[in-house]
Amino acid sequence: MTAREFANRVRSREKLVGYWVTLDAPPATERIAALGYDYVVLDGQHGLISTTGLLHGLLAIDAGSAIGSGGTVGLVRVEANDPTPIGRALDTGAAGVIVPLIDTADDVARAVRAAKYPPTGVRSFGPLRASLRINSVPAEANAATVVLAMIETPLGLKNVAEICATPGLDGVYVGPSDLGLALGARFPGDPEIAEPFEEALELIARTAQEAGIAAGIHTFDGESAQARLAQGYSFATVSSDLSHLEAIAAEHLRVARG
């Protein structure tokens, strides 16, 4: 799948399923990308991945996709809403960026400008590896580049309608751990805020749909991803490499010790 095809699927609110990578382990990322996920996200904010690691991870995603269905693209959750990490992720070959800690429509507008070439935005021209995957003609690159804004703060939730209505934004993405904390959770998954948390998720999905943009969410297993897609989210990410590695290792240890 080309970046432009992926962008079209996101903007059409097709149901997409992705995976989250936090480790700088290209052979593992390659195997994950060969499984048939629609996208794989490299976590440049909380993940243990350097700039070189992002390059290696995106190369691994392309290689794994070619081995598998050919339908997997690489995204990057950037470290901050700043032109430097956004431009670097895109120059390295990401099909799009997930931008954290979005509070306002102005924050979204800054992210969109950072991800798009003039006259739409302020992205500096130097696509390097990106030109192999995304057309280096600025207007065509702009059309193929996906920008997703994370809704995970009290202000982001409050301003979700204005955020979703910002021109150039392709979708919003829920970070459930931070969103839960924003709603007063003592820890991620706190059952005491389950009701307002679900209300917030429904509000975000509904608001995005009314604005005509995609709504995505991070989930912790396939069953949860399926439920969120049925709820109205158009794309869902399933867990992460480190979480799965730990869970499977713990389960094998439990079984082995009886």
Name the active-site residue from 46, 56, 218, 244: 46
What span, in angstroms and rounded, lies between the C-alpha atoms of 18 and 216? 10
Cα dihedral: 244, 239, 5, 134 (round 10): -70
Distances (CA, A) of 34 to 38, 66, 231, 258: 10, 7, 28, 34
Active site residue 46: yes
Q: How far apart are the first and last CA of the chain?
A: 45
Name the nearest CA neighbour of 74 among 126, 32, 116, 113. 32
Contact residues for 181 (Cβ-Cβ < 8 A; gap 6+): 188
Cα dihedral: 179, 184, 188, 189 (round 10): -100
Q: Which residues form the catalytic set?
A: 46
